[in-house]
Structure 1
């Protein structure tokens, strides 16, 4: 069988340690009692779409059936080690890192293979999980617990359950026993394609806010808040206005094209009730209906079109407009081979406006718009 061996992120690899709360309901890891015996399968599979770490990889409500995961069935539920099961290898699967290939950049699962004396590990896994006590108080840490698979000499595999404390945390004996095994192999396996090869080569993100959304958050003077003493009302801290960038000396630009996604409603936010806020109705409506674009393609500007960019920040202000937008471009100007950190956004249809950081919507040069629309 092909070995499926991440950086070994055992219990407590990342913690939030914020407050005391009840034990039940930790994401994917409730305190378990009466754990059933694990089901044997013919292969270790750290890419199964239903593993616990996949809530970080696949957002809730979206399908996990990508071209890759469609070929992987769900893994069985974790369970106790069968009495006659003699492991020869342990596999720890942790959502960690990324993998690049001809298709692009994938979110990855890192798989470690460990071998050695399995006596201490079997003893640790045989411990029962503890029951939560009445009004049990627990710290609200979030454990990033690896998936643990065991394999025997004939290739049978099982997904092992980690014994839990009364607070649903993993018992230390299991991680201690795993640390005593010898690390013999580590490999990263792809899970979800995050950035396509064309976007990766062009330095484009796969999703970004529409130009109008950038204008909203860049010009309306959004504020951050400090709570001061416990019990005090939040006090606004004005964010100083950003400076309009200069594009003098720009000699080229890479261009990322995006198709506007369908409108989605965000979670309601009680912004009107926050003391010190002065958001207009229009700004509030825009915040509650955020729009973004998905990467479509990429190119570079010809020299004559790039020569128009220094004048972008001083172009005439665009008139009011509400036409629907379906495509836009994000231009990344460059100077002497270095990409600037101040992109220019251009609507390719709808109102056909140009946006630079810390400025109002402007009218793009007709030649620039023609070069982008093709």
Structure 2
């Protein structure tokens, strides 16, 4: 899916999920069937980085940053199942998809792996409980339960992915949680999954994706700035509008950090995409605009020296730009600094196309030629 279409598609997917939870909870995606859970398959070892595990927790828009997907080197994990009768665990590994890891490449979304040991009798008994069958017109609460992946490992290093016994509403039975809490926590480690923010962007304080300057006029925000996530891994990932701060003076600005973005191509809505559940076409102009939002992907970062930054003082009083429809492929977001402190009023400049300048709560302006030259290099 294209990133600019993500907010609406996510909303539709969320609505479908909510409807499923309200109408009945058997057969939830990613969960074993309520009855007849197969015996778990033994594999060479645990793998909390398997791509088919985190895909149920994290939704990363396609093509936003240029990312290295660590999980590509890992095979899919087997389906969860019941514990084989002759399997004797010596360790339980609980994989929770949250947190982050920072290294030389940047900031990664992570999976937190807790290792537990001790008496596995209560846990094996809890896992042996059958899952309940949903009743006719089963009534269930609409909250969604995020359940960690559970691996069991034996003395030879063989491992199995355990299925959590479920209630009639698809929620986990408390006996498994209680048994896990009784085990001793012996180790906790965070493992990288997907590169969220590259090291150059992280060092420069740049987000990996942001809306084009044109959108600051259309939506009354400063660029619809986003990173690849908006919080803990596993949370819904949506563009977060950044409301414009009260107009600040750029007087005395003595520097600026610059984030350069390449404009992503616009993907037109697919046939039928603008229809509701009854097949009627949406006529909401805002919805149609959301489907065609145009974003930029982080390309590079630099800084403006004192001389070039001094040109920003006149930005808010610059000449209004004439009407223009030239195609934009690159733009910059400037974060002015005064005495080492970053101001909350970024300036956006189109590096090609119409080559306009945008400040919060203002129309498109004509940038100073010297400033444009300094940015284009």
- Aligned: 1:129 with 2:131: yes
* 2:371 is the counterpart of 1:368: yes
Unmatched segments (≥5 aa) in structure 1:
1-15, 220-239
Partner of 2:55: 54
- Taking the aligned partners of 1:45 and 1:241, their CA distance within structure 2 comes to 44
Partner of 1:346: 349
Gaps of 5+ in 2: 1-17, 222-242
Distance in structure 2 (CA, Å) of the matches to 1:361 and 1:66 = 36
CA RMSD of aligned residues (A): 2.6
Q: Which residue of 1 is the match for residue 192 of structure 2?
A: 190
Q: Secondary structure at the match of 1:214?
A: helix
Change (3 A) 1:102 1:36: same
Q: Compared with structure 1, are the counterparts of its residues 80 and 54 closer, same or farther at alpha carbon in structure 2 (3 Å cutoff)?
A: same
Q: 2:318 aligns with which of 287, 290, 315?
A: 315
Q: Matches of 2:252 and 2:32 in 1, distance apart?
A: 59
- Per the normalisation by structure 1, the TM-score is 0.82
Distance (whole Å) between structure 1 residues aligned to residue 300 and residue 198 of structure 2: 10
What does residue 262 of structure 2 align with?
259
Secondary structure in 2 matching 1:308:
helix
Kindly tell me: are residues 349 and 97 of structure 1, through their superposed partners in 2, closer, same or farther at Cα, counting changes over 3 Å?
Answer: same
Output aligned runs, 1:62-211, within 5 Å: 66-211=68-213
CA contact (8 A) 2:274 2:282 kept: no
Size of the aligned set, in residue pairs, is: 330
Change in Cα spacing, 1:351 to 1:135, as seen in structure 2 (3 Å) is same
Give the 4+ runs in structure 1 shifted more than 2 A.
24-32, 53-63, 240-245, 264-274, 283-288
Matches within 5 A, 1:282-361: 286-361=289-364
**TM-score where L is the length of structure 2:** 0.82
What is the alpha-carbon distance in structure 2 between the residues aligned to residue 243 and residue 211 of structure 1? 18
Shift of 1:273: 6.4
More divergent stretch after superposition (190-199 vs 246-255): 246-255
Please say if residues 44 and 157 of structure 1, whose CA atoms lie closer than 8 Å, have aligned partners that are also in contact.
Answer: yes
**8 Å contact 1:31–1:130 — kept in the other structure?**
no
